[in-house]
Amino acid sequence: QQQVKQSPQSLIVQKGGISIINCAYENTAFDYFPWYQQFPGKGPALLIAIRPDVSEKKEGRFTISFNKSAKQFSLHIMDSQPGDSATYFCAASTKGGTGTASKLTFGTGTRLQVTL
Amino acid sequence: NAGVTQTPKFQVLKTGQSMTLQCAQDMNHNSMYWYRQDPGMGLRLIYYSASEGTTDKGEVPNGYNVSRLNKREFSLRLESAAPSQTSVYFCASSESKGGARSPLHFGNGTRLTVT
């Protein structure tokens, strides 16, 4: 049972364009939503994260938009560059109880290719 | 600063063979995790360790065992490998005992093929 649904599976964007990746979740107990970026042959690395008390978070060219009522969040990459070509994963977690660790549930990933 | 180091980088096993994937982190993190990555399925949690001395099952623990040897090291063992365990395995660590709310730092993975 997939708790975080991610789309599209792959995306091709021209240099300078906007890349948009969408995620949806069902578990209303999720309260932390990070995005990870993975280059070939490497492990994922945290790109940006948001908590549901805000509707948008921006870091440089990367923006997360969050819609709590729709249980959706998305990553926007402005002015996309060839160096942004990578696989992007959305994720979600709940707050763990005392003495436990909360765990990330990942989406299935989006392979982004930015062409010249 | 090495971060999270996984060994080996590549491994080929025959069905029924056993092996241990090693992971070590030098960031003094409390929590450690093992994920597997398969095409179209994202990253799925196999086991995790919230702190030294504790381990818990994740989403897909069957066929695996883990050992949190000390604060730095967290190993994953396949007792009798099956072709369905062909995957890329990632170890990760995070700072706090509230695990996933602080960033996960991943190693570069072990690519395992079971024939």
**Percent of chain B clearing pLDDT 90 (strictly above):** 78
Residues B98, A102: C-beta atoms closer than 8 Å: yes
Q: Which residue has the tokens 């990553």?
A: A75
What are phi and psi for residue B16, nearest 5 degrees? 95, -15
As a whole number of angstroms, the distance between CA B115 and CA B112 comes to 10
Task: Look at A89 and B43 and tell me if their CB atoms are within 8 Å.
Answer: yes
Tell me, what's the pLDDT at A36?
97
How sure is the predictor about B103, in pLDDT bands with cuts at 50, 70 and 90?
confident
Is A92 near chain B, with CB under 8 Å? no
Instruction: Please provide the average confidence, as pLDDT, over all residues in chain A.
Output: 92
Q: Strand B64-68: give its sheet, edge to edge.
A: B4-7, B19-25, B74-78, B64-68
Q: Which residues of A28-55 are buried (b: 16+ CB within 10 A; e: fewer)?
A: eebbbbbbbbbeeeebbebbbbbeeeee
What is the model's pLDDT at position A98?
56
Secondary structure tally for chain B: helices H, strands E: 0, 11
CB–CB contact B42 A89 (8 Å): yes
Nearest to A103 by CA among B114, B27, B60: B60
Long-range contacts of B86-89, Cβ-Cβ distance < 8 Å, separation of 24 or more: B86/B112, B86/B113, B86/B114, B87/B36, B87/B37, B87/B38, B87/B112, B88/B36, B88/B37, B88/B38, B88/B112, B89/B6, B89/B21, B89/B34, B89/B35, B89/B36, B89/B37, B89/B46
Residue A32, beta-bridge partner list: A93
Question: What pLDDT score does A94 carry?
Answer: 83
Stretch (H or E) spanning A7: strand A4-7
| B47-91 per-position pLDDT tens digit | 999 888 899 999 999 999 999 989 999 999 999 999 999 999 999
Q: Count Cα neighbours of A111 within 13 Å in the Cβ-side half-sphere.
A: 7
pLDDT exceeds cutoff 70 at B97: no
Q: 3-class DSSP state for residue A82? A: helix
Least confident of A18-22, A95-99, B30-34, B44-48: A95-99
Read off the tokens for A92: 């979600």
The backbone torsions φ and ψ at residue B18, rounded to the nearest 5 degrees and listed phi first, read -115, 155
The closest CB to that of B99, out of A9, A91, A101, belongs to A101
Q: What is the pLDDT of residues A64-114, one digit of tens each?
A: 999 999 999 999 999 999 999 999 999 998 876 555 566 889 999 999 999
Residues of B with CB under 8 A from a CB of A: 4, 31, 33, 35, 40-45, 48-51, 56, 58-59, 90, 92, 97-101, 103-109
Q: How far apart are CA B60 and CA B76, in angstroms?
A: 13
pLDDT given at position B40: 85
Q: What is the CA radius of gyration of chain B?
A: 13
